[in-house]
Amino acid sequence: MLILDDLLLSPFRGGIWILKQIHDAAQEELANEAEAATTELSELYMRLETGQITEAEFNAREKELLDRLETLNSREAQGEAEEGEDG
C-alpha cells in the first residue's frame, strides 16, 4: 500500500518541490536587488563627494533609490509575515 501511495502522491510532491524552488529563487533575487540598490546608493554618495554630479542630480537619484529600497523592504517584510502565518 505504501508504494501505491508514493506513486499516487509523487506528482503533487513534485509540484510542491517546483513551487518551493521558484519561491526560493524569487527571494534570492529580491535580496540581490536590495544589495545592488544599496551599492548604487554608496556609489552615488561617492560621486557627489568627488564632484562628479550636482546636488540636484544626487537628490533625484537618491530619492529613486531610497523609494526602491523601501519597496523591496516592505515586500520582504510582507513575505516574512506570510511565512509566519503559514508556519
Looking at the chain, list the stretches that DSSP marks H as alpha helix, in order from N- to C-terminal side. 2-49, 55-86
Residues 18-40, mean pLDDT to the nearest whole number: 90
In order of 8, 41, 52, the CA distances from 17 in angstroms are: 16, 36, 49
Position 11 pLDDT exceeds 60: yes
pTM exceeding the 0.85 threshold for the entire prediction: no
